[in-house]
A and B are shown apart, each in its own frame.
Chain A
Amino acid sequence: MKNKHISISDCSLRDGNHAIKHQLSVEQIANYCKGADRAGLDIVEVGHGYGLGASSSAFGVAKVDDETMLSVARENCTRSKLGVHFVPGVGKHSDLDMAIEIGVDVFRIASHCTESNITYRPIQYLKAKDKMVYGVLIMSHMADAEKLLKEASGMKAAGADGIVLMDSAGYSTPDIVSEKVSVLHENLGITIAYHAHNNLGLAVANSIAAVESGAEIVDATIKGFGAGSGNTQLEAVVAVFERYGYKMNVKFKDLVNLSLYAENSIISSVPDIKAINIMTGMHGLFTGYGTYVQKVSSDFGVDIFELCERLASRKLVASQEDIILEEASKLARRAV
């Protein structure tokens, strides 16, 4: 097992964008991509936090448009593959065409974990153009292993080359991760990737559990830069995998400069685990809501924890910022 090869998908410039309200600049993208490419990171994912075509009032207007972000990243990634995140119903096929034109290598087509049939068409669309495509199951804590297998099988049948399980709420613990990843790994016969969040301080541990259960790709971000309390910290997880003897194209020592660059020039505040993050994690609310919930609760002058509880009772999935606004407005008026 220790001879196993692990690939790292660096989501710093995509999930990290959530942490700074999608304000990554051209210069930051260019410099980071150059460093990641030099360090030997397998895949570098770039874009608005919610993926292609997501820049909007609802999800936050990105500082740089998709086309510019991807072009700049492409120019600076010669070895690393360039990846994008795409959610049907948010982005359009014309956005995929643009990404293909720029030379994106890896397409990750995402849906809430129980709604994967919305990904079939874009998966087929991309496979017809011979692209590398992964099916992404968001908020995977909201379905059991059997259901996830069923959803993932559909994505595989549509043509997906692999499946990414996302713990988008940072709700999962290593036992849950092991069970779900094993079931997918043993039954699907395609690559499994794991994407963790750190709300309960378990992102690195969950990533290790995923690899031990058959995952071959791990999503990580520099200094954990990502939505809410952040993701699996890239430097830490690579260091652990090295000690365990897994084979990787990236070495911890090559990440040192990248980490320093990110700390000095990109990450205004290093993600930590705030009470709000634990709160969303425990309730299984999308981790990216943390900052937004804080802003909205202060705008409307409502109690943040009461707002969280109400949102949890409505079982919000990802990308429902509008409901947070509505619920806060109701709470402010005490209409319900």
Chain B
Amino acid sequence: MSNRVAIIGTGSIGIDLMYKTINSKELDLRFVVGRRSDSPGMKEAMLRGVATSSEGIAYLEDNIDKIDIVFDATSASSHAEHDRVFCKHNKFVVDLTPAKLGELCVPVINMESLKDSRNINLITCGGQASLPLAYALKNSCEKVLYVEVISSISSDSAGIATRENLNEYVETTEFALRSFTDAEASKAILNINPAVPQVCMQTTLYARCEKVDIERLRSNVNSVVKKVKEYVPGYNLVLEPLVDSGSVTLAVQVYGSGDYLPEYSGNLDIINSAAIAVAKFKSKVSGAGSRAVAIEERLA
């Protein structure tokens, strides 16, 4: 068995992931756990008939042999505690917090090279939206000197954990921007917008680089946008690369699929869709042929 999933964290991210996991033919959702039995997310999970617990990480440890994959949708500091347990039991975890304990992953860039990693970190929503563009840029110029990303998300899509983790959001996004482009300097900004009707997630990338090949940049950007669209259909280029000597600016908008939260919450959708893509990949590479057993067990 290799496709049995547990979700820890019952905020917006956790519950949207719950629906995405339920909707996935390849994944088998076993538990949704959190800390408060009366949280709206927990109620939603119960309503859907998913096995839940408010014992959080303790419950998962007690049932650790019944799961293959954990999605951690809590907070950076909580993930650090949780991962001690996952590490002890050698359990595979997809970390959706900006804790950056595991390998940084953007599915279209490096998922295939991480098949043996136990902890995969999905950076941040702004990271998932911008890094494919930053990577396309890196492959279209001699050197990226500086890369900067500003993301606007709607207030309604920014849960408490996101708000408490802004410092980690900025640090982790900046770190990933440098890691994936080899730029010496990076900057990340997150802007939470309360406008009604809600704004859709938008991410703008600014960069300075040496010897940009404009044609190649256009083609690399179009091709990476197409690849991201395979798991996030609402990922759209809204500002074609503007190149002014060594400065490059481009922007994407990210509409979500509306599984749990409204479509404007592209920020949640892009990181969750990345999580699902990683889980499917992991389940495929580590347990071919086990699906029949999983179904049998569920029926029993």
The chain A residues found within 8 Å of chain B, CB to CB, are 56-59, 88-94, 111-112, 114-115, 117-118, 120-122, 142, 314-317, 319-320, 322-323, 325-326, 329
Contact = CB atoms under 8 A, between A and B. Distances in A.
Given A120-B164, A326-B239, A317 B204 contact: no
| Interface SS of B by simple majority | strand
B204 A89 contact: no
Contacts of B167: 88, 92-93, 121-122
10 contacts: A57-B206, A58-B206, A89-B166, A92-B171, A114-B194, A115-B192, A118-B166, A317-B194, A322-B150, A326-B239
Contacts of A112: 192-194
A56 B206 CA distance: 9
A322 B152 contact: yes
A88 B166 contact: yes
Contacts of A92: 167, 170-171
Interface of B: 148, 150, 152, 155, 160, 163-164, 166-167, 169-171, 187, 189-196, 199, 202, 204, 206, 238-239, 247, 249, 251
B169 A89 contact: yes
A117 B165 CA distance: 11
Given A88-B167, A114-B155, A57 B192 contact: no
A329 B239 CA distance: 8
A94 B20 CA distance: 36
A325 B204 contact: yes
A319 B169 CA distance: 17
A208 to B, nearest CB: 30
Contacts, number: 87
Contacts of A114: 155, 194
Closest 7 CB pairs of A and B: A57-B206, A315-B195, A322-B204, A89-B190, A88-B166, A58-B150, A114-B194
Contact of B199 (A88, A115, A314, A325): A314
Contacts of B148: 56-58
A317 B251 CA distance: 19
A115 B164 contact: no
Contacts of B155: 114-115
A137 B163 CA distance: 16
A162 B79 CA distance: 34
Contacts of A120: 163-164
Contact of A90 (B189, B202, B249): B189
Contact of B194 (A88, A115, A121): A115
Which of B164, B167, B206 counts the most chain A CB atoms within 10 A? B167
B148 to A, nearest CB: 5
Contacts of A122: 167
A300 to B, nearest CB: 10
A93 B164 CA distance: 12
A277 B81 CA distance: 51
Contacts of A317: 191, 193-195
Contacts of B190: 89
A271 B129 CA distance: 39
Contact of A322 (B170, B187, B195, B251): B251
A317 B190 CA distance: 13
Nearest to A122: B167
B195 A56 contact: no
A319 B170 CA distance: 16
B37 to A, nearest CB: 23
A68 to B, nearest CB: 16
B192 A322 contact: no
Given A115-B192, A325-B239, 15 more contacts: A56-B150, A56-B187, A88-B167, A90-B189, A111-B192, A114-B155, A120-B163, A121-B167, A142-B194, A314-B195, A315-B195, A317-B191, A317-B194, A317-B195, A322-B202
A322 B250 CA distance: 10
A57 B152 CA distance: 15
Given A58-B189, A319-B189, A319-B191, A121 B202 contact: no
Contacts of B251: 322, 325-326
A90 B174 CA distance: 11
A122 B190 CA distance: 15
Contacts of A326: 202, 204, 238-239, 251
Contacts of B238: 326
Nearest to B153: A89
A169 B170 CA distance: 27
B192 A121 contact: no
B207 to A, nearest CB: 8
